[in-house]
């Protein structure tokens, strides 16, 4: 097959995979009635008919979208950042350090992957509502019980992640043990070995974990629905439900999804090459 045909086929596939995004963006410019009428044919993918940015204006009237985006950005950034540090340290301890029971610990960590989050969500709400917390009230440091309605309740339960620990442990185990031994002879402690040897040699693992942690953190819906009552603390995905009233505002949904997908898309396109190579190098399938 000539190169031209291969490129043609690949372009066709690329266009095909772009259909959902094109549909989303084009529909965000149409009124609800037209979206539903166009949906059966090619017009669904074309900016034709009554085109305007009214749906975008409607989104801002209905949802504090800027606030929701900021909240998601904060929650996701901290989960990913802290998760990379803590899970990689745990993976390092399991994979590189020799201590009794590490295999059992790794098995327990892997076992946590079997339990669906939905089954423990309600008991977790009870637990987090009983946890102590420190806060400032009228200029005084005071304590209270209950994490509901806070950022930490959206962040802390998701930092430690069994899959990330497992992935780091697996990746670190591919680094030759002789390097550790050489470093120890030179006087390095475990933290120095982790920081100066394991981390620099594990770029693909860090990138993979970052991607795999970023997406679920950005897409969080059930947990914030249960533990966040204050609108000022809600993330973007909960905002999606604002459009499902007795009649569904499809145009505004498409405008909202366009707006909240854009940051993810920009990040992905900017780091596309690094992401693809890291996923390939770590052998993780999506």
Q: Tell the smallest beta-carbon distance from residue 33 to other proteins (Å).
A: 6
The whole-angstrom separation of Cα 89 and Cα 44 is 49
Report the Cα 73 to chain-centroid distance in Å: 10
Q: Tell the smallest beta-carbon distance from residue 178 to other proteins (Å).
A: 27
Q: Tell the smallest beta-carbon distance from residue 248 to other proteins (Å).
A: 7
Q: Tell the smallest beta-carbon distance from residue 253 to other proteins (Å).
A: 11
Which of residues 61 and 186 has its CB atom nearest to other proteins in the complex? 61
Which of residues 144 and 181 has its CB atom nearest to other proteins in the complex? 144
Positions touching other proteins (CB under 8 A) are 32-33, 36-37, 39, 61-63, 121-123, 125-126, 128-129, 134-135, 137, 140-144, 146, 148, 221-222, 225-227, 229-231, 238-239, 241-248
The whole-angstrom separation of Cα 277 and Cα 75 is 26
Which of residues 222 and 280 has its CB atom nearest to other proteins in the complex? 222
Q: Tell the smallest beta-carbon distance from residue 96 to other proteins (Å).
A: 19
Burial class from Cβ neighbours inside 10 Å (0-12, 13-18, 19+) for residue 85 reads exposed
- ∠ CA 18-219-119, rounded to 5°: 130
The whole-angstrom separation of Cα 54 and Cα 8 is 37
Which of residues 2 and 137 has its CB atom nearest to other proteins in the complex? 137
Burial class from Cβ neighbours inside 10 Å (0-12, 13-18, 19+) for residue 201 reads middle
Q: Kindly list the distances between the CA atom of residue 143 and the CA atoms of 92, 136, 152, 233, in Å, as whole numbers in the listed order.
A: 35, 8, 15, 21
Report the Cα 224 to chain-centroid distance in Å: 14
Which of residues 147 and 166 has its CB atom nearest to other proteins in the complex? 147
């Amino acid at each position: 097959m000539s190169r031209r045909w291969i490129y043609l086929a690949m372009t066709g596939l690329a266009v095909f995979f772009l259909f959902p995004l094109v549909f989303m963006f084009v529909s965000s410019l149409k009124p609800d009635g037209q979206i539903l009428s166009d949906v059966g044919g090619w017009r669904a993918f074309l900016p034709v008919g009554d085109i305007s940015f009214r749906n975008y204006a409607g989104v801002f009237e209905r949802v504090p979208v800027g606030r929701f985006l900021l909240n998601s950005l904060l929650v996701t950034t901290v989960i990913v950042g802290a998760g990379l540090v803590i899970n990689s340290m745990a993976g390092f301890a399991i994979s590189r350090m020799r201590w009794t029971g590490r295999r059992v610990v790794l098995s327990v960590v892997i076992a946590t992957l079997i339990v669906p989050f939905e089954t423990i969500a309600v008991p977790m709400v009870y637990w987090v509502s009983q946890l102590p917390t420190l806060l400032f009230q009228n200029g005084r440091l005071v304590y209270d019980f209950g994490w509901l309605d806070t950022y930490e309740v959206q962040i802390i339960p998701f930092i430690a992640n069994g899959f990330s620990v497992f992935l780091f442990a697996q990746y670190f185990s591919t680094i030759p043990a002789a390097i550790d031994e050489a470093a120890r002879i030179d006087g390095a402690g475990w933290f120095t070995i982790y920081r100066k040897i394991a981390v620099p040699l594990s770029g693909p693992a860090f990138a993979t974990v970052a991607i795999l942690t970023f997406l679920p953190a950005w897409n969080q819906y059930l947990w914030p629905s249960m533990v966040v009552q204050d609108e000022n603390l809600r993330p973007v995905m909960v905002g999606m439900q604002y459009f499902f009233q007795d009649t569904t505002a499809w145009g505004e949904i498409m405008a909202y999804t366009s707006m909240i997908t854009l940051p993810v898309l920009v990040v992905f396109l900017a780091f596309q090459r690094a992401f693809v190579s890291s996923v390939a190098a770590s052998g993780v399938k999506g």
